[in-house]
Structure 1
């Protein structure tokens, strides 16, 4: 069933422009690259948001490695790079670096692609400027998440605490 869903999605992306949300984060001791797409579906007459893939990066998480991983996925599914109309990423140098970041490498191949900073990251940047209380609250949340995720034991203890309190626990990655 998963293969059928992937076939439908990739066949739609082969013939239309789409935007991409790309994020790389540490998951355990591995780097995980996650991609989501948004496009207009002619058959359903609506905008579709879909998970595209999650892939572990074999070596490092440099812009070139991220770009090659994304490019290989598109080639495997016969999707042209020129179909990428826009990409939103986090602010890490591997993503937005002017010379070797993912966005820069994509712009070398797709000169008219629009690149932007992820909406959540932009909200965090705006919060820094709005009021010190909001910024302090966000800093505390980020510090707490990073403390929990810094060590597997902390993460397991937090998951156990959530379970004891009937709270939904979604494994989290490092905050930005």
Structure 2
């Protein structure tokens, strides 16, 4: 089971739970559920939602072999974290730190120059993608000049692997981005 808490565009915390299991000698990955965390995102809130789902669907903690989390204190706290609560129910459960989150942590140790370049690239992409008007203007501008690209991948720190795709795209359309910024009216 993989568990992650994420904040949606309306600023509400959502608990996302995925499962990986073996079915008929094939590994399956499924989205188990998504529930809103109404107030806080503490370990007991997370555990309560997962336990409620288990109870409603008559699932046992014995089915769980391992849990993968983002490494936040609410998840992995030794005494009161989500994992500690699960281990009270199922001591056999193994825990791992999510690969994407580990890679995001690793990306924080980039060489200084590369980090500066990526900072500018990410800021530029997020400026265009993070505002609907900017995104529409960029798309229209790229269509008008016949650019190969009209879309940029939105970047988040957790999903830093998309930098592999974002950077070449930005390099390829850097002139279009510069032209857009030249023609854009200041706020």
TMscore range, shorter length: 0.5 to 0.7
Q: Map 1:38-77 to 2 at 5 A.
A: 38-42=20-24, 45-77=25-57
Cα deviations across residues 15-65 of structure 1 (Å, max 9, x unaligned)?
xxxxx11100111221100111000002xx310011111111122111100
- State the distance in 2 between where 1:88 and 1:21 align: 5
Q: 1:57 to 1:26 in 2, by over 3 A?
A: same
Q: 1:132 to 1:54 in 2, by over 3 A?
A: same
Give the corresponding residue for 1:25: 6
Give the corresponding residue for 2:150: 166
SS at structure 2 position matched to 1:71: helix
Q: Which has the higher strand share?
A: 1
Matched, 1:93 2:70: no
- State the distance in 1 between where 2:7 and 2:155 align: 12
Q: 1:102 to 1:46 in 2, by over 3 A?
A: same
| Alpha-carbon offset, residue 168 of structure 1 | 6.7
Gaps of 5+ in 2: 141-148, 161-187
- State the distance in 1 between where 2:64 and 2:57 align: 14
Q: 1:29 to 1:147 in 2, by over 3 A?
A: farther
The one of 99, 110, 114 aligned to 1:119: 99
- Give the alignment's Cα RMSD to 1 decimal: 3.5
Is the 2:104–2:158 contact (alpha carbons within 8 Å) kept by the matching residues of 1? no
Give the corresponding residue for 2:174: none
Question: Relative CO higher for 1 or 2, CA cutoff 8 Å, sep ≥ 6?
Answer: 1
Is the 2:17–2:34 contact (alpha carbons within 8 Å) kept by the matching residues of 1? yes
Is the 1:162–1:169 contact (alpha carbons within 8 Å) kept by the matching residues of 2? no
SS at structure 1 position matched to 2:75: helix
Rg (Cα) greater in structure: 2
Cα deviations across residues 118-139 of structure 1 (Å, max 9, x unaligned)?
1011112333456455655676
The one of 34, 41, 57 aligned to 2:16: 34
TM-score where L is the length of structure 1: 0.68
Gaps of 5+ in 1: 1-19
Is the 2:76–2:83 contact (alpha carbons within 8 Å) kept by the matching residues of 1? yes
